[in-house]
Amino acid sequence: MDSSYFNQFAPIAAIATQPQAAQVFASLAQNPEIQLWLPASMEQQGSSRHYDNSLREHLGSIWKENQSFVFCLAAGAVVRLIAPLLENKAEDPAVVIVDPKGDYVVSLCSGHQGKADLLAQVIASQIGATPIITGASQSLSLPAIDTFGFTYGWRKGEGNWTGAMAAVAKQEVIQVIQEAGSTLWQEHLPPGHSFYFGFPDSQAEINPQARIWISPTKRKIAPKSDFPKVQWHPRVLWIGIGCERNTSRELIETAIDETCKTYHLATEAIAGIASIDLKADEAGIIEVSQRRNLAFKTFTAEQLNQVDVPTPSEVVKQEVGTSSVAEAAAILAGENLLVSKQIFKSGNHLGAVTVAIAQADTEYIERAGKLYLVGIGPGNLDQITPSAQTAITEADVVIGYSLYINLIESLKRPGQIVEPSPITQEQQRAIRAIELAQWGLTVAVVSSGDCGIYGMAGLVLEELQAAGWNGKIPQVQIFPGISALQSAASRVGAPLMHDFCAVSLSDLLTPWEMIRQRLAAAASGDFITALYNPRSQTRTQQIIAAKEIFAQYRSPDTPVAIVRGAYRENEQVTLTTLEKMLDHPIDMLTTVIIGNTSTRNYANWMITPRGYLGFSQTEDRS
Ligand code: SAH
């Protein structure tokens, strides 16, 4: 099991007090992020640790050091145990309960900020349980307004979050004024949502009960404001900095903070610092960027000198070879200059600083993006591996052909961006996924069957390669699925018991002559052959040619399976022979399996013997 799912919730304490409960945690506790705690009286299990005081005392001692708690205990007991430890939802850990049979996973506490809702979903898909999430935004299928911005790297600002959340729960109209940052989330709200965008004109019969500002501007919110207001700050501000050697960290911070204050900008909206490459080792700047988790970009004098700036300086040009550092660097990093050069000197601190601020069109996301290439199997949800389900649930964005997206509708999580696309646009889909992952999002690209068998995995990796990918960022993880040849085979018996191959009859990306040669090779090599993409509305001749090629090598009564929409609604399974295969409907949702010379039909089952010898040895029946 890949442990990276649990990183964002770690460290996690899993607590069980009964052997049956400990059993429920057995597979989960194999993840290094999860520490299993058992009472001293219970046997060691894996890397479990044991407490010999009361659970109440023990919990008190590990409460602060864990980000998440998972209990396998009665809900009532958990509520009593944690009640004295809870402080507020900004600081409390995520608390999740699993029932002792492992059927349900309840998100109990800190659902949004503590990510208990997501943790419950991830655990549920790992152990095959049903997640129970009772938060209002979940039931209304809305993004959680107090956390959704984290996806885009936004930082939370001041405001009455509790009041605003209550307004969402009451399904009141929430006014959204978005002045910066991605609007992707707006395009993926459920129908009938209660957000209102912008300021209603006087005629509009709109009466918002809360307001969300999404902006680099810091607004003062009066404590007695008529309704709850909150603010998110997308990280769009780039601070251009020029300074004398050895300028103190304090002076640089003062310069940034004062400038932001003067221009009503939120320091939370700062993406990073930009300067000249001579300053790449300037201790004060490095310290500020580390303390505040800011990006730090530098440019050469030559790059900076090409930028048009409002306040060029001849003196600076003489010194470093560009007539502007702060303004030019801010513009190169952020594009739109908001605040031109401000100069700070201080009697108390060493050096002098110039500061300029630019605003970027796209917000900066600090974390590195990920691409999950996911095979979802033939169609039915229970044919998807738990790992693949988790990947889909965890992703910020899910991209795929609309038919497949519909098949996994129930895995969708509120606030998730789901981008269906037409079947033909595979390359655009790959490029889009890469673009979002390079920006910093976790993107799941879904394929039917296996993603690496005539699926999206190859396309995405090819496009990454074309884009000069370093093999690491964005991180790629591949989740295999049950391919059509396996699902089709399982519907008719065991046709693939001996050496087999797959041939796609689509000549969209492969010349027909090559396909023809492969068919002949497969037929003459006596491979059982699964034909993918056998016939489309316009491509009708290939399946006829394929049949003729096989007829040269195999007898007319060779068993053939025609399976359409395996494991989907309206599944059709036909067992026939090579001679008669074209009498049956075959289309793009069909896989055709042609047996080898020893494949037999028996009581409506298609069976290929394990060997050619007429018998199979018992020890070779794996
Ligand atoms: N990645 C997929 C294949 C995609 S190519 C996989 O591994 O299965 C598309 C072809 O797959 C279709 O033309 C059809 O031949 C086959 N296919 C996909 N899903 C199928 C299903 N549920 N039943 C039968 N064939 C299917």
pLDDT number for residue 39: 94
For residue 588, which atom of ligand 1 is closest to its CA? 13
Task: Quote the strand ranges of 277-412, DSSP E.
Answer: 295-299, 336-345, 352-359, 370-375, 397-401
The rounded Å distance from CA 612 to ligand 1 centre is 29
Q: Is the pLDDT of residue 385 over 50?
A: yes
Q: How far is CA 222 from the centre of its chain?
A: 37
Residue 10: count of CB within 10 angstroms of its CB: 15
**308 against 406, higher pLDDT:** 308
Contact 151, 235 (CB under 8 A): no
Query: Could you tell which of 373, 492, 589 is best to mutate to test the pocket of ligand 1, judged by most ligand atoms within 8 Å of the CB?
Result: 589
Instruction: Return the CATH fold of 490-607.
Output: 3.30.950
Q: CA-to-CA distance for 434 and 459, rounded, in angstroms?
A: 11
pLDDT number for residue 522: 98
Q: Which amino acid is at 30?
A: Q
Tens of pLDDT, residue by residue over 19-76, are 988 988 988 888 899 999 999 999 888 889 999 999 999 999 999 999 999 999 999 9
Asked whether 401 lines ligand 1 (CB < 6 A), one says: no
The rounded Å distance from CA 483 to ligand 1 centre is 7
Tens of pLDDT, residue by residue over 458-486, are 999 999 999 999 999 999 999 999 999 99
The rounded Å distance from CA 417 to ligand 1 centre is 25
Q: CA-to-CA distance for 486 and 495, rounded, in angstroms?
A: 10
**511 against 200, higher pLDDT:** 511
What number is the average pLDDT over the span 138-160?
Answer: 88
Query: Could you tell which of 590, 592, 593 is best to mutate to test the pocket of ligand 1, judged by most ligand atoms within 8 Å of the CB?
Result: 590
For residue 484, which atom of ligand 1 is closest to its CA? 8
pLDDT number for residue 614: 59
Q: CA-to-CA distance for 494 and 396, rounded, in angstroms?
A: 39
Instruction: Return the CATH fold of 237-359.
Output: Nucleotidyltransferase; domain 5 (3.30.420)
Asked whether 453 lines ligand 1 (CB < 6 A), one says: yes
Asked whether 377 lines ligand 1 (CB < 6 A), one says: no
- Where are the domains positioned within the chain? 3-134, 148-233, 237-359, 370-482, 490-607
Query: Could you tell which of 509, 515, 532, 533 is best to mutate to test the pocket of ligand 1, judged by most ligand atoms within 8 Å of the CB?
Result: 532
The rounded Å distance from CA 529 to ligand 1 centre is 14
* Residue whose CA is at the smallest distance from ligand 1 atom 4: 454
For residue 567, which atom of ligand 1 is closest to its CA? 22
For residue 178 the two structure tokens come to 């978005």
* Residue whose CA is at the smallest distance from ligand 1 atom 15: 532
Give the DSSP letter of residue 200. Answer: P
For residue 500 the two structure tokens come to 């087999």
The burial of 250, by beta-carbon neighbours within 10 Å (0-12 exposed, 13-18 middle, 19 or more buried), is given as middle
Residue 354: count of CB within 10 angstroms of its CB: 22
Tell me which CATH code domain 3-134 carries: 3.40.50.11220
Q: CA-to-CA distance for 25 and 49, rounded, in angstroms?
A: 13
Q: What angle do CA 210, 215, 219 make, to 5 degrees?
A: 65
Tens of pLDDT, residue by residue over 231-287, are 999 999 999 999 999 999 999 999 999 999 999 999 999 999 999 999 999 999 999
Class of domain 370-482: alpha beta
Nearest-10 Cα torsion for 552, 553, 555, 558 = -120
What number is the average pLDDT over the span 431-442?
Answer: 96
Give the mean pLDDT of the chain.
Answer: 92
* Helix segments in 132-234, DSSP class H: 136-139, 161-169, 184-187
Asked whether 532 lines ligand 1 (CB < 6 A), one says: yes
Asked whether 565 lines ligand 1 (CB < 6 A), one says: yes
String of b and e for 188-213 (b: at least 16 CB within 10 Å)? eeeeeebbbeeeeeeeeeeebbbbbb
Contacts of 413 (CB under 8 A, 6+ apart): 118, 121, 393
Asked whether 590 lines ligand 1 (CB < 6 A), one says: yes
Q: Is 564 helix (H, G, I), strand (E, B) or coil?
A: strand
Query: Which band of pLDDT confidence, cut at 50, 70 and 90, is reported for residue 4?
Result: low
* Residue whose CA is at the smallest distance from ligand 1 atom 3: 454
Please give the radius of gyration of the chain, using alpha carbons only, rounded to the nearest integer: 30
Q: Is the pLDDT of residue 440 over 90?
A: yes
Q: Is the pLDDT of residue 2 over 50?
A: no
Query: Could you tell which of 454, 496, 543, 584 is best to mutate to test the pocket of ligand 1, judged by most ligand atoms within 8 Å of the CB?
Result: 454
pLDDT number for residue 136: 72
Residue 279: count of CB within 10 angstroms of its CB: 22
Q: Which amino acid is at 595?
A: G
Asked whether 275 lines ligand 1 (CB < 6 A), one says: no
The rounded Å distance from CA 123 to ligand 1 centre is 30
For residue 379, which atom of ligand 1 is closest to its CA? 22
Q: Is the pLDDT of residue 1 over 70?
A: no
Q: CA-to-CA distance for 82 and 97, rounded, in angstroms?
A: 12
Q: How far is CA 420 from the centre of its chain?
A: 15
Task: Report yes or no on whether pTM surpasses 0.85.
Answer: no
Asked whether 568 lines ligand 1 (CB < 6 A), one says: yes
Percentage, residues of the chain above pLDDT 70: 97
Asked whether 566 lines ligand 1 (CB < 6 A), one says: yes
**520 against 1, higher pLDDT:** 520
